[in-house]
Amino acid sequence: MDSAQWLPVVFLGLMGLAMLAYVVLDGYDLGVGIMLESATDEDKDTMVSSIGPFWDANETWLVLGIGVLLVAFPMAHGAILTALYLPVAVMLFGLILRGVAFDFRAKVNAHRKPLWNRLFCVGSILASFAQGLMLGLYITGLQYTAATLSFGVLTGLCLCAGYVLLGSTWILMKAEGRLQQQAVGWARRSLWVTALGIVAISAATPMVSERIFDKWFSLPNFFLLLPIPIATAVLFFAIDRALRRLPTRLAQGNEYGVWVPFACAVGIFLLAFYGLAYSLFPYLVVNRIDIWQAASSPESLMIILIGAAFVLPAIIGYTVFAYRVFWGKAQELTYY
């Protein structure tokens, strides 16, 4: 096969992997940030401690994904980032605010610490909502109308809830005692708002394009793809069932199955990402720019691929190593 045909597919896969890893990994620590103001001062330190070793590395995946879009698909990068300039700026402001607040909350006098906790929470909300807004606008073809903006606001709110679901189930694994019980409540409140977001995106995407509608609802595709929404529904009900049982178990000191809600939440995001990727492929801008139109020259892509062959394993290796070293319950937060 001609390299001009398969190289764009390879880079689309790399970009998809990076964005999926970012949504799952940075998603839970954004969720922890969103919930921060709902916890006691002591529990705030435990929550920050649970994400401290990971959150900087988690954002590496966003840099990789945007970097691949820029160097491998410059035409699409220009079209997408131009259309989403304002929400991208809001997201970056939120991420910067998070980073500053994360460091300052540990270094300021005690009476100023609540301010930086609030700013960490605000930064997390801004970044999460902006990402959801961008998703909604992207799905609807980067058009700014009352309908698409309303849909973008809905996806923004629902993505915040999805991140809270990831973050609360992460805290459920990493914390102990009262904070665990509180995490169950956060997870239950965010669960069905997350489901609303997935249903809204699943309903809106086929309506955007007749091509996408046919990919899902023509025969035999409909029956071949039916396991995806069924599996998603099963995972939602599995989380709900686990969250109903866990408070009693935790009160008895029994943590059996405490990992189930987080694993199921990750599974939901994986299935949602797969469904969206299937719908959009091979377009980077819905029905306007496909991956072959947007791709750099094969010679450039081959050079970039060689670099990616070194960079990607290093990122994966560091990520795996960090999670292995710092796995287990979050320890008391200390600064030296």
Residues 6+ apart with CB under 8 A from 165: 31, 187, 190, 191, 194, 239, 265
* Domain parsing of the chain, residue ranges: 7-325
DSSP state letter for 329: S
Structure confidence at residue 1 (pLDDT): 65
pTM score: 0.94
Give the pLDDT of the chain (336 residues) as one tens digit per residue: 688 899 999 999 999 999 999 999 999 999 999 999 988 888 898 899 888 888 878 888 998 999 999 999 999 999 999 999 999 999 999 999 998 998 888 787 877 888 999 999 999 999 999 999 999 999 998 989 999 999 999 999 999 999 999 999 999 999 888 899 999 999 999 999 999 999 999 999 998 888 999 999 998 988 989 999 999 999 999 999 999 999 888 888 888 889 999 999 999 999 999 999 999 999 999 888 999 999 999 999 999 999 989 999 998 998 889 888 888 887 766 554
Whose tokens are 């809270």? That residue is: 164
Structure confidence at residue 183 (pLDDT): 94
Structure confidence at residue 336 (pLDDT): 46
In terms of C-beta density within 10 A (0-12 exposed, 13-18 middle, 19 or more buried), how is residue 75 classed? middle
Half-sphere exposure of 307 (CA within 13 A, CB side): 11
Structure confidence at residue 2 (pLDDT): 80
Residues 6+ apart with CB under 8 A from 181: 247, 250, 251
